[in-house]
Structure 1
């Protein structure tokens, strides 16, 4: 059986691409019943990236499995009526429009209060509902730039934008957490809630420790700190095979274990070399180029020195740890699915109840009617 922590909770999702769909996916994984409203042509994510045999992108399926999809033109009176009917029966409305758009679609704050005063409404946007940038367009790279995340990623020469859209996923998780907390308060008080989440704010919250330190002393330049390339014991190195290994021997004990495993007791005292440890990093670069990543894994994997061979995307499904955690599942369409990342009551997350599927409004409402009338 799937997790039932949110069993009976009804969620209407108005989201596209990653942030809101990822948030709703987590709620669905925890037992919520999610109905996603998409425009008549569908979420553009359906056509982004590698497509399955049915023409739908594998990424879209990964973010929307377990949901029922209703296609509706929210710019039309009929589409707005459909959306209002769903929201009236829902516990949660999760949307990712820019401020002001929802009101133009007949779902403004006054409309929602009239339709469903107990509703948890979570608005997930790039810059939030107020401020000079509230209506500005953006994507992950911009939210990372504004929130401080991009400044801390990269080399000494320049910031680097990674393949993983960090603010998208972080904000989706923040939305799911906030919704769960609001549902708990409603259970106690009967009170609905409006949650305003800005992706830039989420990124800023991740900078709390760095900002606190910077108020006392100037921060180290990018690539010169203890965890961003300045320390030899906490770094990424290329192996002879062209692959990479990650060494996290930050503490003296782990560094000592590493030095013992490579037979270099002379390096133990250099753990405390001033940052950035350019010369020591260069020595380890040369060392790691003498063996393949797999050879280093054989030598260092059991040394208790925080070593990990860098897994490429194709390597991940076969990683034994994920097998033991039952995190990877192989679907009938030959794609890989990743499970909800938590064991509940000592049991791993189960396979999602259903693949995503399109349904008509009558079917979506019929399933909710008994709950809404209870």
Structure 2
């Protein structure tokens, strides 16, 4: 496996951080979730429940281990520092300053383990004046200008169906961790990394902002890829369905125009005035009729699938994901990587991992009695 032998201490909760560390699990790393003995990640119980866990929790925590540890207690902090000594990566998702207040600042951890890759996933970035401000995915999208462009020109703004900033930030964190591990192999030195969910979305918006500053205003349904051109739009069909037409290249647009008997449209791929005519044509046929047409041409024309249809179509469209396991969207020598094993119960591996550090059974019982560690059956 790509990351065999790499040990990750995961202090994150909710969605973005666990999504990132599950990618590391799929690549072969040992990921140990560090959670407080009481409370912890409320995503565990958030409905709907699947396999005894909240579905969102189960989706991003498979194959991990869990240590229940009270970091606010001096003994808990010392146990964590001992864990750091054998760790390669620490991932945390607190607001900047929280780890320092716990006595576990990045510099402290690197003193204990100079080869450590310390990776923080933050909302606004450690260097931002807003670094301590609370935020969630929708806030980051709003401030980056992404949300202000999402929706029809005359209709309301629409939140995207997936938490774009959360998942984009998670993937940025994975890239940073992998680069950090490579750097460490070359230099022997650890690193402090910070990935900002807001900044990830801002980085995606840079081409639009540069065009905007050059006089091409960024507006809803007013840009090449959000509906300004007839050749690249979503069109409703006669039966309430929809088709996604993405015929940007002349070859694809010509194929579409010829297939629908409108050769006079060929020179007008980027003429906004043509949109009503194309829309009227799409509304004249059902989605099934458009799918039948699509089967005979190559014009980047696809049906807009509802969620149940997309799930049913995985075995054909994306067979690696048809099993339902958390699979990575790339292959290694033709093989797909996925996070195997169930998600961990809270504190399920506390005994195993602390015994690895040399703690005896009697010590663990006393620590559990004091609420410093959590061990199922000993609480």
Provide the TM-score with structure 2 as the length reference.
Answer: 0.87
Residue aligning to 1:339: 327
Which of 178, 181, 193 lines up with 2:179 in the alignment?
Answer: 181
Count of aligned pairs: 354
1:213 corresponds to 2:211: yes
Residue aligning to 1:297: 291
Shift in alpha-carbon separation, 1:241–1:84, aligned structure 2, 3 A: farther
The SS at the match of 1:12 is strand
Residue aligning to 2:23: 26
CA–CA distance in structure 2, aligned partners of residues 138 and 246 of structure 1: 33
Which of 42, 48, 66 lines up with 2:63 in the alignment?
Answer: 66
Q: Contact conserved, 1:128 with 1:134, CA < 8 A, in 2?
A: yes
Shift in alpha-carbon separation, 1:296–1:215, aligned structure 2, 3 A: same
Shift in alpha-carbon separation, 1:294–1:70, aligned structure 2, 3 A: farther
CA–CA distance in structure 2, aligned partners of residues 323 and 251 of structure 1: 23
Deviation at 1:321, TM superposition (A): 6.4
CA–CA distance in structure 2, aligned partners of residues 35 and 53 of structure 1: 20
Deviation at 1:211, TM superposition (A): 2.4
The SS at the match of 2:103 is coil
Shift in alpha-carbon separation, 1:266–1:301, aligned structure 2, 3 A: same
Q: Contact conserved, 2:148 with 2:157, CA < 8 A, in 1?
A: yes
Shift in alpha-carbon separation, 1:82–1:295, aligned structure 2, 3 A: farther
Which of 353, 359, 363 lines up with 2:340 in the alignment?
Answer: 353
**Deviates most, 142-151 or 60-69:** 142-151
1:308 corresponds to 2:302: yes
Q: Contact conserved, 1:255 with 1:305, CA < 8 A, in 2?
A: yes
Residue aligning to 1:332: none
Runs of 4+ in 1 over 3 A off after TM superposition: 320-325, 365-369
The SS at the match of 2:34 is strand
Shift in alpha-carbon separation, 1:348–1:325, aligned structure 2, 3 A: farther
The SS at the match of 1:250 is coil
CA–CA distance in structure 2, aligned partners of residues 29 and 320 of structure 1: 20
Which of 343, 346, 351 lines up with 1:362 in the alignment?
Answer: 351
Task: Structure 2: state its 5+ residue gaps.
Answer: 359-379
Which of 212, 225, 228 lines up with 1:227 in the alignment?
Answer: 225
Q: Contact conserved, 2:47 with 2:55, CA < 8 A, in 1?
A: yes
Which of 109, 112, 127 lines up with 1:112 in the alignment?
Answer: 109
Q: Contact conserved, 2:121 with 2:194, CA < 8 A, in 1?
A: yes
Which of 266, 270, 280 lines up with 2:264 in the alignment?
Answer: 266
CA–CA distance in structure 1, aligned partners of residues 342 and 357 of structure 2: 19
Deviation at 1:337, TM superposition (A): 3.1
What are the residue-to-residue correspondences of 1:111-260 with 2, within 5 Å?
Answer: 111-157=108-154, 158-260=156-258
Which of 32, 36, 39 lines up with 1:35 in the alignment?
Answer: 32
Q: Contact conserved, 2:82 with 2:357, CA < 8 A, in 1?
A: no
Task: Structure 1: state its 5+ residue gaps.
Answer: 330-335, 370-374
Aligned alpha-carbon RMSD (Å): 2.0
Provide the TM-score with structure 1 as the length reference.
Answer: 0.88
